Amino acid sequence: MTKPAAFRTRQILRLTEGWLMLKLTLLVLLFASPIFAQDSAAVLPSDGCGANKVEFDVKADNKQHPAAQPEPGKALVYVVGDAWNDHQPVHFPVFASIPVTRFGVDGTWVGANGFRSYFFFSVDPGEHRLCTNVQSKFESQVKAYTAGTSFTAEAGKIYYFRTKTAESYEIQLVPVDAADALALLANASFSTFHLKK
C-alpha cells in the first residue's frame, strides 16, 4: 500500500527544512569565526612582541657587567634571559644550539639575549606590555615559547624581569625584586645585539 501524496510531500518539506537549517547554521559559524578569533587574540601574551620576521644576532660578554640608572623622566628595565637549557647539569655551548630570546615592549622589539645574559632599556612612565619569545623561523615554536606581562612604570624607578622555564618547558616572564635581580645579573653575561640583515 502506498502512502498518500500529501504525506510524501510533508516528508520532503521536512527534509528540505532540515537541510536549509543546517546550511544556515554552517553559514553563521563561518562568518562568526573571525570574530571569535579576534576576541581570543586580544589577550595573547604576544601583544607586546614585535614582528616575527625581525631577527637579532646576539653576543654575550661575561667580562663586563654594566649597570645603568634611569634617565631623567624615564624608567629603566632590566631583562635577564633564562633559556630552557640554561640550567642543564652539563652544558656545551659549542655544540648546543643556544636559542636567541627576543624582548619587546608595546609591540616593538627592543633587544635580545642569548645564553644566561641580560640587557637594559629605558621606557616612558605609564602602562607597558612586555613580551618575550624564542627567535625561530617556525611559527609553532615561536608561539610555544612566548610569554608576556604588563607593568606600570614610574619615572626614576628600575624594574627587573627574567624569563623562567617551567618543567613543562613553558616559558614565563616574571618580575624579580632588586636583591634577587642583582644576584642574577652577577652570574649573567651582558648581551649586545644587532638586527640581522
pLDDT reported for residue 197 = 79
Residue 136, pLDDT score: 81
Where the chain has pLDDT below 70, the residues are 1-46, 82-98, 166-169
DSSP letter for 45, please: G
- Residue 99 pLDDT: 77
pLDDT of residue 172: 86
Query: Is 157 within 8 Å of 70 (Cβ atoms)?
Result: yes
Q: What is the pLDDT of residue 94?
A: 46
Residues 7 and 68: their CA atoms lie apart, in Å, by 87
Cell numbers placing 100 = 636567541
| DSSP 8-state assignment for residue 96 | S
DSSP state of 197: -
d(CA 65, CA 82): 17
Q: Which of 149, 147, 156 is nearest to 123 (CA)?
A: 156
Return the residue matching grid coordinates 627592543.
Answer: 110
